[in-house]
Amino acid sequence: MVSLIPQPHPRERRIIFENISRPGWSNDIDTYVAHGGYEQLRKALGMQPSEIVDAVKAANLRGRGGAGFPCGVKWSFIKRDDGKPHYITVNGDESEPGTFKDRYILHNDPHQLIEGVLIAAWALNVNLAYIYIRCEFPHAAKIVWNAIKEAKARGLVGKNICGSGFDCDIYVHQGAAAYICGEETSLIESLEGKRPYPRIKPPYFPAVLGLYMSPTIVNNVETLCHVVHILRLGAEEYAKMGTPGDGGTRTMCVSGDVMRPGYYELPAGAVTLGELIHDICGGLKPGRKLKAVIPGGSSAKVMRAGEVYKIKVKAQDGTMIDKEVAMEDVVMDAASLAAVGTMVGSGGVMVMDDSRDMVWALNNLNQFYAHESCGQCTPCREGSLWMSKMTTRMMAGGGSANDPATLKNVADNIAGRTVCAFGEACSWPTQSFLAKFPEEFAARSANG
């Protein structure tokens, strides 16, 4: 019997994809239970809720949805005994271009997610959780609904879970078919049946004023799956797999110009970008040279091959010293990518070789963002459209000499001036492509 994804590369360590890699794996509850499924939920129900929150903190688990916020810190904002209803909303809206890991988990290991949700629910005193699934994943929604039904029939969801006296129901909500629904406050508006306009923070931090104005934890699908393994391995062992401040493994979806694109799961910080491309993904296509990488989903700033970054590192005596790092030597973890001005984001690594036209690539992204802006704030609504119109015009041969400067000006006037982080998400590609590949934009602007 074959497994759903190829057997791991020797440098991989699969915990999230471990089940999916088993030959003959199937997503039903019998198979999940036969491989130790729901044992961590039983363990959790015998623990103090605060012990679970402390373990998630000690594990250094960062959210896998894009922003990388420390999960245990987020959970500690919930006051278990404040007398208010609390909610968990699972973010399965996965629409960031280049990212496709959550769909794989939803399709192939839905019980792993349900177990993570239930452990979080016990820790945070939540009796109702919603799994918000991207509208374009109707098959995933069906699979997860079916898995919830299976778990309910075994007394694992609903009333008196495992005889513990703890109740928690889980519902699937199908998304509203827009990228912005993945932004956590927009997701909450959408769940409430409203138009998905993001809310302003402050005051609408979900952990304070979330779903139905009650404390709510929004976590990504993969983030909640990691919680199961923090309990299974223990926080210390889990944390040790990664780097200080970025514990555990990271799933990566590699796409673009490599010989073996696909899913990989690696301890955080275990490989450099060059090792990921040339060793794990089988290298570039024959005769091609590396040109650029977007390391964390389309919103992450692009990196140019051959770049050398100046970063600060801690010396043995504890002082901070300057160090130079070449692009392919950048380590794939949250801190290292942040230090070179980009981000690990949602794990979508897009590799481009020297056959790629960077104005075309940016235009592709700009058209996406212009289409997906919710339109609530003027800089984002108008700016994303102007950027898209300009790069479309450049591609059509009608660029004018001022276009690169105007594009930069528009992008600079979106970021930091909007209700939600979509403003940054749509500006960063334009800002970084222009800064890193000025000659290609100048060439496309010479026609005006």
Ligand X SMILES: Cc1cc2nc3c(=O)[nH]c(=O)nc-3n(C[C@H](O)[C@H](O)[C@H](O)COP(=O)(O)O)c2cc1C
| From ligand SF4, ligand X, none, interface partner of 95 (C-beta below 5 to 8 A by class) | ligand X
Q: Min. distance of Cβ 180 from ligand SF4 in angstroms?
A: 5
Task: Using CA atoms of 147, 153, 155, 156 in order, give the dihedral in degrees to the nearest 10.
Answer: 0
Instruction: Identify the DSSP state of 246.
Output: B
Question: Between 91 and 363, whose beta carbon lies closer to ligand X?
Answer: 91
Applying CB under 6 A, does 358 fall inside the site for ligand SF4?
A: no
Can the peptide bond before residue 203 be classed as cis, meaning omega within 30 degrees of 0?
A: yes
* x/- track of binding to ligand SF4 for residues 309-348 (CB under 6 A): ----------------------------------------
Give the max Cα distance, the chain: 73
Applying CB under 6 A, does 419 fall inside the site for ligand SF4?
A: yes
CA angle, corner 129, sides to 125 and 132, nearest 5?
150
Question: Between 215 and 404, whose beta carbon lies closer to ligand X?
Answer: 215
Is the separation of the CB atoms in 62 and 334 below 8 Å?
yes
Question: Between 231 and 425, whose beta carbon lies closer to ligand SF4?
Answer: 425
Q: Min. distance of Cβ 186 from ligand SF4 in angstroms?
A: 7
Q: Give the total of residues touching ligand SF4 (CB under 6 A).
A: 14
Applying CB under 6 A, does 418 fall inside the site for ligand SF4?
A: yes
Applying CB under 6 A, does 381 fall inside the site for ligand SF4?
A: yes
Applying CB under 6 A, does 422 fall inside the site for ligand SF4?
A: yes
**Helix/strand/coil percentages in the chain, nearest 5:** 40, 15, 40
* x/- track of binding to ligand SF4 for residues 235-254 (CB under 6 A): --------------------
Q: Which residues contact 288 (CB under 8 A, 6 or more apart)?
A: 257, 353, 354, 355
- The residues binding ligand X (CB under 6 A) are 63-67, 69, 71, 91, 93-96, 180, 182-184, 218-220, 223, 420-422, 425
Task: Produce one character per residue of 409-429: b if its CB has 16 or more CB atoms within 10 Å, e if not.
Answer: ebbeebbeebbbbbbbbbbbb
Applying CB under 6 A, does 198 fall inside the site for ligand SF4?
A: yes
Applying CB under 6 A, does 370 fall inside the site for ligand SF4?
A: no
Q: Min. distance of Cβ 183 from ligand X in angstroms?
A: 4
Is the separation of the CB atoms in 245 and 60 below 8 Å?
yes
| Interatomic CA distance for residues 301 and 86, integer angstroms | 35
| Interatomic CA distance for residues 29 and 37, integer angstroms | 8
CA angle, corner 420, sides to 211 and 330, nearest 5?
110
Q: Min. distance of Cβ 404 from ligand X in angstroms?
A: 25
Question: Between 211 and 277, whose beta carbon lies closer to ligand X?
Answer: 211
Question: Between 375 and 438, whose beta carbon lies closer to ligand SF4?
Answer: 375
| From ligand SF4, ligand X, none, interface partner of 128 (C-beta below 5 to 8 A by class) | none
Applying CB under 6 A, does 375 fall inside the site for ligand SF4?
A: yes
Is the separation of the CB atoms in 221 and 90 below 8 Å?
yes
| Interatomic CA distance for residues 322 and 44, integer angstroms | 45
Tell me the CA distances in angstroms from 214 to 93, 182, 205, 355, one per residue in order.
Answer: 21, 19, 10, 51
Instruction: Report the amino acid identity of residue 330.
Output: V
Question: Between 16 and 180, whose beta carbon lies closer to ligand SF4?
Answer: 180
Q: Which residues bind ligand SF4 (CB under 6 A)?
A: 180, 198, 373-377, 380-381, 418-420, 422-423
